Structure 1
């Protein structure tokens, strides 16, 4: 007899292996669909653990008393959710009924006995419908008679996959039935022998299933399993009784969110993704094994749920034990995202029984008071952190701390890190009792990562400093040490799983074409490199250019995003600008275009501070008409659809309704990844994103994203010998002497006043100014900055310190700001007064998918090189610069430009406007048909012009971008004039 490999065989295998792991197989007949409960095991559990309650409720016979309790229990599950019922039980007629006993702590015999009384039951073919007894779900998992999971199973061998299971839930499982109603279970699993997906809230066809795979080769899916089915990790490990108990007690949750605008409350069920559960568990296990004093880098893709991962980690770190005691006295959560400061606090509180254990450290002294008062969890922003920690006091060096860093950046590695270390280490600050040598040694020691603190750094885009500071050291074949994350969930896996949207799949660069002309008779010389940069900024910031680009953006948004009902008609767009002045100009331009098109939609502007707007001081609040803190909420409500930003909302902003981004700002490296990744948040109705970029090429964006597609690895550690080289080079300039440095450091550490410090520095400044070669000035200042940058970083990670380096650091930290910049003549000054903008046009180029290499992102260590010399100017005649600039940006050189200009602006529009069919379309007020007729008439006119201007006809025939531009220009001119 051949072995069956059908769906039923998978069902049998799962149940058999779950029973091996501690589950009990249930009977489908024990399930009562009218209560959505396994009455047999519910009754048995209460009778065994709470016999008096069981008797009072008459659970062993179908009486009105029994029905009253079951109806009460069913109603409470509907109101509170099954997770809260399991955790807190239910009260009924003066009786409290426990429905689950949590995992015991080590050595608690009574709790162990109670936990063993829990009934973990897996039942096949459960008939869930009171009205249609033929319907059955493949598997249901119960805890003490309460359903916690349902399963629909499929089998690849019989040509059905996990996606068929998803469709079965969406098509055949009615959310109005109790078993499938919101909150009645923790999750619904769609499973085959290759993949796993889950959903926490069934909504028919709109049910949103998320992946629950382990990942394979930094991508989607699951690795081959030599010991069984690829997906058996789900039922053998994740759903093993003790593992499930952790999920019930520490992860699954129903979150209530309130809309600040409407006051309406909505509930959302939270269940961990596989990578979230795995990361948190790995971190907690390492803490339990090794205790405080370790560093962890967690590289999780943007949009992968880091806020929840941090919340789960933080609230469990508060209770994690090492060597018989709680590992950390306090957990400090540091976020670089001001928007998430509040969000993180609320998320963490939602997972805790007592929200008062979480506090904000908003002002100086808050952190000290929180620790003194026994607060376990403190949330603050990195901007406040150094100032707050200065005020902690000296009594905490015997305490242990967990520092959880959200969006870890290299700023964590220098002065901020030193402030953290000094504050948490404590120790005496009195300089009178210490020699200079003692003070130097104390400063060196304070910069190192603390032995009584563990650092948990979360980021999607780790820089080289971040990897070296928090990463896990790994030996390279060449004998050097590299660094990699402790845990990773890659951009590749998140995209392949559909958990985030690929923001590079639809990237369209916009070409800008300009024509500049000289406005002076003579032909002065200018520095070509600087001149080109100034000309580009001048043209792109020109009022006409802003207006044209704003028109392109709005036209695209209305016709391609709104008209095509992206994200179910809820799509939003972001315009990324290069400066606050440009941001305000774009805001006005976009608002103007929307008004001219009689669009019901409006824009919101976002920037910091107060700025001039044509002589009026404005803020984002005064332009928007509502407070700054309301921007994130308002953009989700109509009529607001377009968010215009300048250095705000480019990082840390989580808005699934963002679909399209218009970029008019040069982006590179991490900032490019973070900015475009604002679009990647998934939404059930979001299937793609779109980027229209006026400032960057596809190659630019590809280079920025490449290191972060898969796990990012640091090739090797920073070479500390570079510091020796820099010190040697700096000393050789003769700007200071060793005695200078020693004297300054002694006076500085004694706290002497400015009049005792400045003379020592001013002597060195005078020597710097006297350097005969400006290149030497540039080299010295560049090397000094490189030394400070590299030493501030290395002082936190090197196992040893150097008093000489620390003295140089103190001295140069005060000297560098006093060094004047070398006098450098601006050989492009005045060029803008000698040119004018003759024409400007912006055209969308071909849309493309940017494909990233499927390999680990290898990045180089922190560079320790100093500054370079001055760049020699490249002098060119003004006429040559203008000609080169125009040629570079693709302008067409016409044989007879004046005649062509007359044709385009006068003759062609006149002839098109005289076409009878076109005139009829305008009379009928039909702009869509009018455009069709205008393009047809234009084609006929161009054929008539073939003998008058062959070049113009040829460009029209062969140059698709010119043809589109001319068609639009003629239609805009003639339709608007005639209509």
Structure 2
């Protein structure tokens, strides 16, 4: 083939041929385009007259010879007044005449006329369109729907030395956004920059500020593990999916009808006054379009009753994906044109999602009341479900209250679960399934399995069978679970079982792809770890024997809360924030400090404020976040009590996120705001807490959000190693896979282990079940508690270690039963009876004696050093296929073990100590060295303290300079903080002078 054939023109030819041969298009004539109006008026009028002849005749009788001109003017004014999307969806009205400018594909094949109208839509593929009234620039390809330009494409060909970056540059710098065809919301809706390997898109041209987003499938294909880019195809273009799938007639019109929407954001000043209203035209990214399409196809093919896991990373646009899926499911019909779901229920805690769903769906259908938000009580939810509301938004907590009251026989429900985790596998989720399950269908299935035994059961067991109906999957209930970090339980409950026995998500948009495509930042790119070395000595003459675990915990707690430890780390964090973080993101950067406990958070908060005040720093404003109330040395603290605005008013808990965004830049947290907190200006995270697994990923991901001017993040970690964090992130970097299925027979193994303790009897379980499952409104608590008493007495007679093992095994049975019965139906009545009995028994057994040890006045911090250990990027393996382990049946219990305080200190110091020099002694190092100076001692003995002062300070500073490099953190602080150095010298001078004068040297 001659090189001339590898041109951009050939690229255009191939796209045009595909669209006009298989895509439902007709070759367009660029000469018919009106550059001033930005329309192919001839085609638009032809469509109107052909599809709506009666209405046009009526219109023509009103306007006569001016009908065509008047119609085009009316169309242009209406688009300018509202927007093109609204006119496409609602048409235009003029003096009692109603016109549709496009016909959408009907949901069913029942209405033949609607299908005929749809087929009459005219889609044109027009090449080299000269679009501007002021110049002869041309667009490579423009796609028209009934004469209205809706898509533009700029093509580049690597074989001629250009790529997609050149196409993007052409849009930014050679295309005038004021030309009619480019006016935002009025003509072309989406612009694609395309080369042989990549596609990018934008919905708004804005000169050099135009933002293009990748519109690629992912390196291994859409929904699969991989990074940015597109998979390798040997028989066609790597970007052919754009014109072979996305831009075909059916697909493009579906996107125009059911995906595109305008997002409006209102920006306010500090007083809440609106400063700007920002509009964004949302076009689905490829993975969003793909996941909704694949889910709808699977449901249409298989009907209700399946579970789906969608593992989409932060930055995937889950809120939009959920909104689109909810809307499409609510109107989905099967192959025989029957509506599949009565209602679509969205279970979420995202406050933004309900308003977003309502606004988005109103743009699609322009009908009020399609989306019902449950913001009152459970009766409101029950009524919404029973009345057949299309889309219902609620929280999981409301379902347990009403699960008996919902009339769901022969109705199908779609349940979309936002950020699915193990909480969806507990009692609340089981009752949700009971509420929505088709009781009749499950009872029939159970009857077949049990034969004639069904008829012999006493009435009080009816409720028991109904509860069993809530276990496992149901033919009338489909779950769609969205999460970035699925756990093993979530994978088995919602995932797809592979031929090798592993479980994986139905659709994946990985963290790796989100990072590669620039939708989130890589939080591991700039990661620094510090190791803490210390030695703690015994401060009492005796050597008490302590519970080993409690003793070690007390020693670690003493160290972590030691004022010197907090002061050293605070200095590092504040100085790093001032020198590195504060000026990031145009001076808007913020930091989060993740602490080990509420007490740590409170003490860190006060230490931060003290340090900032002592240094005289300004522009560093600290908030603290923790739940409940915490006592510290006789003072009681709450979040609201500590946090105050700049004007001194207390900040309420609900106000904190906005206050932090607007007025503060450091947030200290304890088990709060580590998940679901979306603050795009968070740049730096300081970690002083052990993190692992999904918790590490969720916590560190708080700083991965993108924002204008934000191009980096930073993590300083005092506790975890780089290897710890790499291990935690690896399983969520691409895809999470459950190594194998959890075996339901684990339950029997645990039950047999519990039986062997001899604590309960089968007759007692049956007596309990007769009362518990009785068909009455109120259970007899007195009788119920009496059935548990014999087991309580036998338990009390057992040795301590046996009691602890029994309780641990019992708790494990309860937890695993609650999970496994969500995954598969057991149909074991006896086991279900026992599970109810076990739950109640666990509540009445004595709580274990929690051993606590107070060592604060018995030990002393002798040495302390913080040392930077790792700085750089933590790199993920890109093809790691190791899975997370399934649930095991073994139950373990800690055996009581005791050690002396000396042995415990030796163990701690062996792990956290190092080769200390004399300069590592926090309390004695400077004093010992100065007191060893014989000339200084003689001078003190012969002079008063006023004369001694300048001599002492010269010796002190000389020694400090000598030791500067041996103990950098301590002495760097001294030389950077003149007030601290002077305070230390004054304190030591008086003490040393007193000791010398009293002959204590």
Q: TM-score, normalised by structure 2?
A: 0.85
| Distance in 2 of aligned mates of 1:722 and 1:797 | 13
**Aligned partner of residue 475 in structure 1, secondary structure:** coil
| Structure 1 Cα separation of the partners of residues 562 and 205 of structure 2 | 52
1:295-351 deviation per Cα after TM superposition (whole angstroms, max 9, x unaligned):
111111122111111110001111101232110111111125567566556555565
Q: 2:729 aligns with which of 677, 684, 705?
A: 705
Q: Which ranges in structure 2 are unaligned for 5 or more consecutive residues?
A: 444-454, 645-649, 934-953, 984-1001
CA–CA distance in 1 between the matches of 2:562 and 2:456? Answer: 61
**What does residue 635 of structure 2 align with?**
615
Q: CA deviation at 1:484?
A: 1.7
Q: In structure 2, the residue corresponding to 1:32 is in which secondary structure? A: coil
Query: 5+ unaligned residues in a row in structure 1: which ranges?
Result: 909-940
Equivalent-residue separation in structure 1 for 2:635 and 2:48 (angstroms): 76
8 Å contact from structure 2 (residues 594, 686) kept in 1: yes
**Alignment correspondent of 2:459:** 435
RMSD over aligned Cα atoms: 3.6
Check 1:641–1:31 CA distance in 2 against 1; reply closer, same or farther (3 A cut). Answer: farther
Q: Could you tell me whether the CA contact under 8 Å between 2:535 and 2:913 is conserved in 1?
A: no
Where 1:817 maps in the other structure, the secondary structure is: helix
Provide the rounded CA distance (Å) in 2 between the counterparts of 1:188 and 1:549.
51
Kindly provide the CA deviation profile for residues 189-239 of structure 1, in whole angstroms up to 9, marking residues without a partner as x.
Answer: 111111111122333333222221111232222112233101011011111
Q: Is 1:179 the equivalent of 2:181?
A: yes
Say whether the 8 Å CA contact 2:974–2:981 is kept in structure 1.
no
* Separation of aligned partners in 2, 1:380 and 1:391: 18
Query: Which stretch of structure 1 is more off in the superposition, 576-585 or 323-332?
Result: 576-585
Q: Which residue pairs with 2:18 in the alignment?
A: 17
Q: Does 1:867 align with 2:892?
A: yes
Q: Which structure 2 residues correspond to residues 89-168 of structure 1 after superposition, within 5 A?
A: 89-92=91-94, 95-104=97-106, 105-131=108-134, 133-168=135-170
Deviation, 1:735, is 0.7
Shift of 1:775: 2.4
Corresponding pairs, count? 924
Deviates more, 1:342-351 or 1:962-971: 342-351
1:489-504 superposed matches below 5 A: 489-504=509-524
| Residues 1:195 and 2:198 aligned together | yes
- SS of the counterpart of 2:110? coil
- Would you say 1:335 and 2:369 are equivalent positions? no
How far apart are the structure 2 equivalents of 1:508 and 1:65? 72
Query: How far off its partner does 1:284 sit?
Result: 0.8
Q: Does 1:721 align with 2:748?
A: no
C-alpha distance in 2, partners of 1:200/1:187?
Answer: 5
Output the CA distance in 1 between the equivalents of 2:98 and 2:618.
Answer: 59
Match of 1:972 among 977, 982, 1000: 977
State the distance in 1 between where 2:834 and 2:683 align.
50
Change (3 A) 1:897 1:211: closer
Instruction: Pick from 268, 275, 284 the counterpart of residue 287 of structure 2.
Output: 275
Partner of 2:429: 417
Which residue in 1 is equivalent to 2:248? 240
Partner of 2:796: 769
Task: Sort the Cα spacing of 1:760 and 1:811 in 2 relative to 1 into closer, same or farther, 3 A.
Answer: same
Q: CA deviation at 1:513?
A: 4.2
Distance 1:651 1:87, change over 3 A: same
Q: Distance in 1 between matches of 2:128 and 2:821?
A: 63
Residues 690 and 63 of structure 1: is their aligned pair in 2 closer, same or farther, counting only changes over 3 Å?
farther
**After superposition, where does 1:811-890 map in structure 2 within 5 Å?**
811-823=837-849, 826=852, 829-837=853-861, 842=866, 844-854=868-878, 855-877=880-902, 880-881=905-906, 884=909, 888=913
Q: Is 1:361 aligned to residue 374 of structure 2?
A: yes
Give the structure 2 partner of residue 538 of structure 1: 558
Say if 2:739 and 2:882, in contact at 8 Å, map to a contact too: no
Mapped pair 1:577 → 2:595: yes
C-alpha separation in 2, matches of 1:716 and 1:676: 28
1:302 paired residue number: 314
* Structure 2 counterpart SS, 1:278: helix
Tell me the secondary structure at the aligned position of residue 685 of structure 1. coil
- 1:745 matched to 2:769? The reply is yes
Q: Within the alignment, does 1:228 sit opposite 2:247 as a pair? A: no
1:733, distance to aligned residue in structure 2 (A): 0.9
Cα drift, residue 902 of structure 1: 4.3
Q: Please state if 1:210 is matched with 2:213.
A: yes
Q: Which residue of 2 is the match for residue 397 of structure 1? A: 409
Q: 1:906 to 1:78 in 2, by over 3 A?
A: farther
Task: Kindly state the Cα deviation for residue 80 of structure 1 after the two structures are TM-superposed.
Answer: 3.0
Task: Return the offset for 1:634.
Answer: 3.9
CA contact (8 A) 2:416 2:481 kept: yes
Structure 2 CA distance, aligned partners of 1:415 and 1:466? 15
Match of 2:394 in 1: 380
The answer to which of 598-607 and 398-407 deviates more is 598-607
1:604 and 1:343 map into 2 onto residues whose CA distance is: 30
Distance 2:921 2:297 in 1: 78
Taking the aligned partners of 1:944 and 1:616, their CA distance within structure 2 comes to 42
| Correspondences of 1:345-744 after superposition (within 5 Å) | 351-362=364-375, 363-387=377-401, 389-390=402-403, 392-393=405-406, 395-425=407-437, 434-476=458-500, 481-514=501-534, 516-526=536-546, 529-563=549-583, 565-566=584-585, 568-591=586-609, 597-600=616-619, 602-609=621-628, 615=635, 618-620=638-640, 623-624=643-644, 625-637=650-662, 639-744=663-768
* Structure 1 pair 372–383 and aligned structure 2 pair: CA distance change class (3 A): closer
The answer to whether the 8 Å contact 2:267/2:277 transfers is yes
3-state SS of 1:846 partner: strand
Contact 1:82 1:148 in 2 (8 A): no
SS in 2 for 1:708: helix
Q: Which residue of 2 aligns with 1:258?
A: 266
TM-score (normalised: structure 1): 0.86
Q: Secondary structure at the match of 1:759?
A: helix
- In structure 2, the partner of 1:929 is none
Q: CA deviation at 1:79?
A: 4.6
Aligned-partner Cα distance in 2 for 1:755–1:943: 76
Query: Greater shift after overlay, 576-585 or 327-336?
Result: 576-585
The alpha-carbon distance between structure 1 residues 136 and 767, as it changes in their structure 2 partners (threshold 3 A), is same
In structure 1, C-alpha distance between the alignment counterparts of 2:931 and 2:18, rounded to whole Å? 82
- Post-superposition Cα deviations, 1:422-477, rounded to whole Å, max 9, x if no partner, equal 22237699x9994355443333223333321111111111111111111112222x
Distance 1:626 1:831 in 2: 36
Whole-Å separation in 1 of the counterparts to 2:929 and 2:886: 56
Contact in 1 for aligned 2:130/2:138 (Cα 8 Å): yes
Contact residue 332 and residue 340 of structure 2 kept, 8 A? yes
